Chains A and B, each alone.
Chain A
Amino acid sequence: GNSVTQMEGPVTLSEEAFLTINCTYTATGYPSLFWYVQYPGEGLQLLLKATKADDKGSNKGFEATYRKETTSFHLEKGSVQVSDSAVYFCALGGNFGNEKLTFGTGTRLTIIP
């Protein structure tokens, strides 16, 4: 079955540092890949997504590239801010808008000024 392995946390960085959160997956077929973010006290929000191999999703300075050859979807940001402190979830799902998401365990990120 489908599964997602996500970099263990917590991760603590200084402001303006470079961020990488690793995510690898196991799936049949050609899933879509997602990064969701959960800010303190809020619900899950979609951060970015990619629907096919070599696609790059990007939003709010974050990027992730769908690498089929390495079954990876690592999240990166060149310069993090305190406001990026949150829990980040990698997930995989279907391509048709009505298939369940399989989530990783989440990575708690804390940015210190």
Chain B
Amino acid sequence: EAGVAQSPRYKIIEKRQSVAFWCNPISGHATLYWYQQILGQGPKLLIQFQNNGVVDDSQLPKDRFSAERLKGVDSTLKIQPAKLEDSAVYLCASSWTSGSNGEQFFGPGTRLTVL
């Protein structure tokens, strides 16, 4: 079974530039999550999708961050414009809708550096 795929693995941009990250979840997983992991901290949920609908985006900075999952499979997360404090690893995870007792499967992450 293929795991969660993310690209790019690394990205360096200057502040005020735009950046986009892509995630392809495990086949059949209806729920997709984007987490932000700042160095030295645990991952923090940014947004959660159930198929192509948003379940929770309460911690997404909506003035600069956006995410979509148009066909209920792949997802993109965008930052526009980036700030220095956005430097972090962005993790995508997916899970079954139910029956897994909460287990989520994580991709390798995209490490973003904002200069």
Contact = CB atoms under 8 A, between A and B. Distances in A.
Interaction A to B: yes
Interface of A: 4, 6, 32, 34, 36, 42-46, 49, 51, 89, 91, 93-101, 103-106
A97 B98 contact: yes
B44 A97 contact: no
B31 to A, nearest CB: 5
Interface residues of B, number: 32
B48 A44 contact: no
Given A44-B43, A91-B42, A100 B48 contact: yes
B97 A98 contact: yes
Interface string B8-44: 0000000000000000000000110100000011111
Chain B interface, >50% SS class: loop
B42 A43 contact: no
B61 interface: no
Interface of B: 3-4, 30-31, 33, 40-45, 48, 50, 55-56, 91, 93, 95-109
B102 A93 contact: yes
B6 to A, nearest CB: 8
A4 B30 CA distance: 26
Given A32-B102, A49-B102, A103-B44, A98 B108 contact: no
